[in-house]
Amino acid sequence: MSAIIGTWKMCYDGLCAGHALLAGGASAGDAVVRTVTAVEDDPAYTSVGYGGLPASDGRVLLDAAFMDGHTLRLGGVMGVENVRNPIQAARLLCGRETNCLLCGRGAEQFAVEAGLKMRDMRTENAMRRWREAVQQEAGRLTAYRGHDTVCVLALDGEGRMAAGTSTSGLFMKAPGRVGDSPIVGSGFYCDERYGAAAATGLGEDIMRGCLSYEIVSRMRAGVSPADACAGALAALVERKRSLGEDAGSISLIALSPSGAYGAATTLPVFPFAAGGADGVALYAARADGSPIRAVTVAELEGEP
C-alpha cells in the first residue's frame, strides 16, 4: 500500500506524478522529489522555487530539505540563490554522515559540483512584486502573508517513507533569514516506524513547538495522524494564547506507516492533496475542526 500527501492546492499536479511513480513501484524518496520538483519548476507558484518572491534585498533565497524515514538521515539547503531545484540538492545531501545541511554559497557550490541545473530564479512577476513592496513599505516585512511551502510525505510499497520541503520563505524576509522548512523536527520529520509530518506557515512560530517532531512523537505513542496534528497544533496555540498571542498561521500534515493521513490548521481553509489506492484528490482542513473532506478546485478558488 503506497500513499502520498502534500500541502496546498499547488502540489496537486506534481502529486499526481508522484502518485503514479509510487504505483509503478518507485521509492517514497523518488515520489517526494518528483512532486516537489514540479512545484519548484512552475513560475505560477510564488512561494516555491522558480518565481518565488524575493527577500528584502531583491534576491530569491530558497530553503529545502529531504528526510529518509528508513535511515533517519536528512539533507537540506538554506538560502540558495541560483539552484533550480533545491529539493534535488537536499536529497543528494541526505545520506552524508557529515555536512548534510549546507547554507548559502557552500550549498550553491555543492549543487554546481553535483551537476545540478542552475538558473536565475527571479521572474519578472516576482521582481515587480518586490519593487512594489519596496516602495510601499520601505522594504520592511510587516506580516506573514500566506507565503506557502510545499511539503510532501510519501510511503512506498516497501514500507519506506520520506519527507521533503521547499520554499522561498517569507516575502521580503531579511537576507539570511531561515524558517522552519529546512529545520529537522520543525518543518519536517520522518521515521518510517511511526510516520511522517510536515508544517507550513510562519516558521518562527512552527519552530517554537518543533511541530513535526511533536506530531511523529504522538504517532509513536499510538495516536492517529489526524489527532496527532490536531493535538500538536492545539498545544502550541494554547501556549501562545497564554502568552497573549493569537494562533497565527500554521498548517500541518501527517502520514502513518499504514497510509492513513491527517491535517490540522489555524486557517479558515487549508487545502492539501493526498493520494492512495483510490487515486489523488484535493481536501480541505479547517480551523473550526470540521471533518476533512474532498473538495473541488472550484471550491478552492483564491486559495494557494
Rg (CA), the chain: 18
Amino acid at site 161: M
Tell me whether residue 27 or residue 181 sits nearer to ligand SD4 (CB atom).
181
* Minimum distance of ligand SD4 from residue 217's CB (angstroms): 20
Tell me whether residue 147 or residue 160 sits nearer to ligand SD4 (CB atom).
147
Tell me whether residue 19 or residue 147 sits nearer to ligand SD4 (CB atom).
147
* Minimum distance of ligand SD4 from residue 2's CB (angstroms): 26
* Minimum distance of ligand SD4 from residue 229's CB (angstroms): 15
Alpha helices, DSSP H, located in the chain: 12-23, 28-41, 86-93, 104-113, 124-137, 203-206, 211-220, 225-242
- And the C-alpha cell for 25? 513501484
Amino acid at site 212: S
Cα 164 to Cα 64: distance, rounded to the nearest angstrom: 7
Active-site residue identified among 35, 37, 46, 149:
149
- Cα diameter, the chain: 53
Q: Which residues contact 281 (CB under 8 A, 6 or more apart)?
A: 273, 274, 275, 294
* Minimum distance of ligand SD4 from residue 202's CB (angstroms): 6
* Minimum distance of ligand SD4 from residue 190's CB (angstroms): 17
Cα 207 to Cα 236: distance, rounded to the nearest angstrom: 10
Tell me whether residue 54 or residue 169 sits nearer to ligand SD4 (CB atom).
169
Residues that bind ligand SD4 (CB under 6 A): 147-149, 167, 169-170, 179-181, 200-203
Could you confirm whether 149 is annotated as catalytic? Answer: yes
Tell me whether residue 35 or residue 200 sits nearer to ligand SD4 (CB atom).
200
Q: Which residues contact 271 (CB under 8 A, 6 or more apart)?
A: 8, 9, 282, 283, 284, 295, 300, 303, 304
Cα 77 to Cα 101: distance, rounded to the nearest angstrom: 6
Q: Would you name the residues annotated as active-site residues?
A: 149
